[in-house]
Amino acid sequence: MNSDDYSRKQKARDSEYEREYKAWIDSLPPDERRKLEAQGLASPSLAHHGNGAAKGDAADSPLMREGDDPALIPDPEPEPANETCDTESVHSAIRRVVAEILCHANARLTTECIALVSGLAYTGSSMTEIAKRHGISRAAVSKRCVELTELLDLPPSRAMRSLTARKRYRDARLKSTRSHEHTHPSS
């Protein structure tokens, strides 16, 4: 295809686009047409072919006038939240956490376990490290963490085994215990 054929085809396409755009503008209610005129969109915008550069300076476009930058338009004010529900939920959660800390003899252990299961103050301490600091087994820390997730209605944190994994370990342990009881009955 030579450049003359391309130019002719492009002119035909541009003319068709211009006709359809004008027909669309004419079909709009007057108030919508005025809005488009104010935005500089009441007539079709045809790209100028050749080197790809548009005719004129983009800064002269009505679309570039000051104040039209969407980044400069302030965000709408958020809808007020249902504070009664949210506030009560927060207070209820705080009451449960504080009660757990106060009700256990080892408040520091409970606090570290709450930090671990909530992920809010996760410092990288593993259950093994917490257990060493408190002179107890890792299993005891795990048990306390599981109790807290259930009590506080939290999903297991990334430092804990998933509920599925815990169920599989529990089922395997029970199966092993039952198997051991059948092969070694106590007399």
Walking along the chain (187 residues) 10 residues at a time, the average pLDDT comes out as 77 88 90 85 69 54 59 66 68 84 86 82 74 89 85 73 58 74 66
- Dist CA 165 CA 65 (whole Å): 60
Residue 135 has a pLDDT of 92
Residue 136 has a pLDDT of 92
8 A C-beta contact, residue 117 and residue 157? yes
- Dist CA 110 CA 104 (whole Å): 7
Closest CA to 166 of 111, 120, 109, 127: 127
Residue 111 has a pLDDT of 87
Q: Where are the domains of the chain?
A: 7-43, 99-157
Residue 51 has a pLDDT of 46
- Dist CA 6 CA 12 (whole Å): 10
